[in-house]
Amino acid sequence: MRLADYLAPDSLDEAVALLGASTSSRALAGGHSLLLEPNRSRMTDAVLVDLRRISGLADIEVRRGGVQIGAMTTLAAIANDKMIQDRYSALAEAAGAAGDAQVRNRATIGGNLADANPGADLPAALLALGAELEVRHPSGTRTQTADGLWVGPFENSLRQSEVITVVSLPPQPAQSGSAYEKISHPATLYAICGVAASVTLAPDGTIRACRCAVTGAATIPTTLAAVGQAAAGLTPDAETLATVAEQADRNLTFEGDRFASAEYRRNLTTVLTERALTRAVERATTNAGG
């Protein structure tokens, strides 16, 4: 990596202005992807704009029944947060399954999303939980759904001067539960395949709402829309969940590489969807809400 400059602004306004001033500028969060990728062309003569001195970007706050997580919150802080463990279990599990302790202590949720690594863990959980992102730009703030963020491997839809500031998760109704299941690459620890499931039950025990998403299996994290549609209205016994999980490979183009074939990832997607759904339903059954 050739570093042209390192800047550490105190305010978001300043950071956004610095990022917009040069196409070589890059936001620096935990640095656990950015600083370890010297061969990426985007790192040539980079101007690093460090976000760490900007206050208020690493808070976890309950707002209007949902939660707002600052973009600079580390994966360790998310994995260890009791409220996230209880109400947004899939996110706590995904953050806890990412990398090792050293990585989790530095890597941030904003960096994990913006990096757009196709095997990153948090995107699947955030898709399943219906996350929205707050994005700061030179003339204000906009809201962006998580599923519009990734456009290809290591490519996001943010403009040069934009910074993710907050990840918002909606309130979880009573009788909701979620879970994340992953098969890791043994060396890099990224997901060869990871599936998150989020389920809300109706008072009669049938599935009122269901959303699943996969990471690692395709070029970008993807919502498994067919699974959610197939699950709605059904009684979630083991046989039904296995049948519903068979919809997981619908409309998805699986990627093969030297670590795992496309067919293996297709199979994993179905297996992990069944496991994630089963645990999400278990949690929903015992969760009175709040």
Ligand X SMILES: Cc1cc2nc3c(=O)[nH]c(=O)nc-3n(C[C@H](O)[C@H](O)[C@H](O)COP(=O)(O)OP(=O)(O)OC[C@H]3O[C@@H](n4cnc5c(N)ncnc54)[C@H](O)[C@@H]3O)c2cc1C
* Strand order across the beta sheet in which 176-184 lies: 176-184, 191-201, 207-215, 222-223
CB of 7 to ligand X, least distance (A): 13
CB of 36 to ligand X, least distance (A): 5
CB of 173 to ligand X, least distance (A): 28
Nearest CA to 84 out of 131, 24, 141, 44 is that of 131
**Footprint on this chain of ligand X (rule: CB under 6 A):** 26-34, 36, 51, 71, 98-99, 103, 106-108, 110-112, 114-115, 117, 120-122, 158, 163-164, 188-190
CB of 64 to ligand X, least distance (A): 23
Q: Between 2 and 288, whose beta carbon lies closer to ligand X? A: 2
Q: Between 190 and 241, whose beta carbon lies closer to ligand X? A: 190
Q: Between 108 and 269, whose beta carbon lies closer to ligand X? A: 108
CB of 280 to ligand X, least distance (A): 20
- Show the CA angle centred on residue 141, arms to residues 160 and 104, nearest 5°: 70
CB of 211 to ligand X, least distance (A): 20
| CA distances for 32 relative to 26, 35, 110, 166, 170, angstroms | 14, 6, 12, 19, 28
Nearest CA to 69 out of 172, 166, 163 is that of 166
Q: Give the contacts of 14 (CB within 8 A, at least 6 positions apart).
A: none
Q: Between 146 and 231, whose beta carbon lies closer to ligand X? A: 146
**163, 144 Cβ separation under 8 angstroms:** no
Q: Between 103 and 209, whose beta carbon lies closer to ligand X? A: 103
CB of 235 to ligand X, least distance (A): 34
Q: Between 190 and 254, whose beta carbon lies closer to ligand X? A: 190
Q: Between 90 and 241, whose beta carbon lies closer to ligand X? A: 90
Q: Looking up tokens 């690459």, which residue turns up?
A: 185
Dig out the tokens for 233 from the structure.
Answer: 């209205």
β-pairing, 60-63 vs 155-156, is: unpaired
Report the alpha-carbon distance of residue 240 to residue 260 in Å, rounded.
28
Closest-by-Cβ residue to ligand X is 111
Dig out the tokens for 265 from the structure.
Answer: 């990832």
